[in-house]
């Protein structure tokens, strides 16, 4: 068995080499694929790499976020393959801060890399990736979905900061403002309104050839338990399908049974379990 790790410095070459592989599983790879296809001019990933097994592309590695390396859906690997990948990856990139990827691979690889780094693995989030082709439970008729406007800015910034806290990925107010402003300008954020009042939000992101992702789903605590998030996501999902996407995908936190139940009812089907892992210093006892 031949395992070969290739690290790239040229983004165009990397993109050309990995897109056909990633597009074989567009829903499962919505994160790496969406990031690659929506990179802004002049932006360059922190890490780009591929793993070949016996001369065949088997895994794509990409990092743009400071705290995690993204692992694509991969071809099957034996335990000795993972041992070899961990060793080569550690040599190429000793200070990997964390990783996100398919549960079995991310867990096995992280454990071996943590051993080499003399660190331990901290599970930040257990996730599930869902993909939908058809809305089963449409939004109710009691509300209206509309694109967010600049007049919603202050409210949405607060909601986004709270959303980030809920998913345990805190953002500074400054970064939140920038992200929300950009999303409103690109008409990516939508709000579900009841009698004209916004009660829930969702954003579409990372469009790829036939798939688009929904994220930033948030309802303020005082408005919860009314089905507003479900209506908001169902309406936005339908709108995205109507605009020409064949599938819509999303990530959920497996520790939040409510959201997983909501999405399944709308018509989302689980395609892959994912783990968000960080490497942390061993505590000296």
In which band, very low, low, confident or very high, does the pLDDT at 169 lie, cut at 50, 70 and 90? confident
In the predicted model, is pLDDT for residue 82 greater than 90? yes
Q: What is the mean pLDDT of the chain?
A: 94
pLDDT computed for residue 167 by the predictor: 81
Residue 282 predicted with pLDDT over 80: no
Please say if the pLDDT value at position 115 is more than 80.
Answer: yes
Residue with tokens 């082709």: 133
pLDDT at 1: 65
Residue 284 has pLDDT above 70, yes or no: no
**What would the pLDDT profile of 255-271 be if each residue is shown by its tens digit?**
988 889 999 999 999 99
- Looking at per-residue confidence, does 175 or 270 come out higher? 270
- pLDDT (average), residues 136-147: 97
pLDDT score for 170: 76
Q: Where are the domains of the chain?
A: 3-125, 134-245
Condensed to tens digits (0 to 9), the pLDDT of residues 206-251 reads 999 999 999 999 999 999 999 999 999 999 999 999 999 999 999 9
Do the two domains 3-125 and 134-245 of this chain adopt the same fold?
yes
pLDDT reported for residue 161: 93
**Cα 40 → chain centroid:** 18
CATH architecture of 134-245: 3-Layer(aba) Sandwich (3.40)
Average pLDDT over residues 15-38: 95
Rounded to an integer, what distance in angstroms lies between the CA atom of residue 156 and that of residue 177?
A: 9
In this prediction, residue 157 carries a pLDDT of 95
Percentage of the chain exceeding pLDDT 90: 88
Q: Where residue 165 falls among pLDDT bands split at 50, 70, 90?
A: confident
Rg for the chain (alpha carbons), in Å? Answer: 20
**Fold of the 3-125 domain:** Aminopeptidase (3.40.630)
Given a cut of 80, is residue 276 above it in pLDDT? yes
Q: Which residue has the higher pLDDT, 171 or 268?
A: 268
Q: Is the pLDDT of residue 54 over 60?
A: yes
Region of poorest pLDDT, from 41-50, 71-80, 81-90, 165-174: 165-174
Looking at the predicted structure, is the pLDDT value of residue 285 above 60?
no
Question: Over pLDDT 70: what percentage of the chain?
Answer: 99
């Amino acid at each position: 068995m031949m395992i070969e790790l290739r690290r790239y410095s040229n983004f165009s070459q990397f993109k050309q080499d990995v897109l056909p592989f990633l597009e074989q599983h567009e829903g499962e790879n919505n994160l790496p694929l969406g990031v690659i296809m929506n990179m802004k001019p002049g932006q360059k990933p922190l890490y780009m790499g591929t793993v070949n097994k016996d001369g065949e592309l088997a895994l794509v590695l990409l990092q743009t976020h400071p705290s995690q390396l993204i692992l694509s859906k991969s071809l099957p690997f034996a335990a000795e393959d993972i041992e070899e990948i961990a060793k080569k990856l550690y040599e190429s990139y000793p200070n990997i801060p964390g990783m996100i990827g398919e549960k079995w691979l991310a867990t096995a690889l992280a454990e071996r890399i943590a051993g080499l780094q003399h660190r331990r693995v901290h599970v930040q989030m257990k996730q599930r990736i869902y993909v939908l082709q058809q809305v089963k439970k449409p939004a109710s008729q009691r509300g209206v979905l509309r694109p967010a406007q600049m007049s919603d800015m202050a409210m949405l910034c607060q909601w986004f900061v709270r959303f980030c806290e809920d998913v345990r990925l805190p953002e500074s107010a400054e970064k939140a403002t920038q992200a929300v402003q950009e999303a409103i300008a690109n008409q990516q954020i939508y709000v579900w309104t009841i009698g004209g009042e916004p009660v829930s939000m969702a954003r579409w992101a990372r469009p790829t050839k036939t798939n688009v992702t929904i994220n930033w789903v948030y309802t303020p605590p005082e408005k919860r338990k009314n089905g507003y998030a479900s209506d908001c996501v169902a309406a936005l999902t339908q709108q995205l399908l109507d605009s020409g996407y064949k599938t819509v995908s999303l990530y959920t936190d497996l520790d939040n049974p409510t959201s997983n139940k909501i999405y399944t009812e709308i018509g989302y089907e689980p395609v892959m379990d994912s783990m968000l892992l960080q490497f942390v210093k061993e505590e000296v006892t």
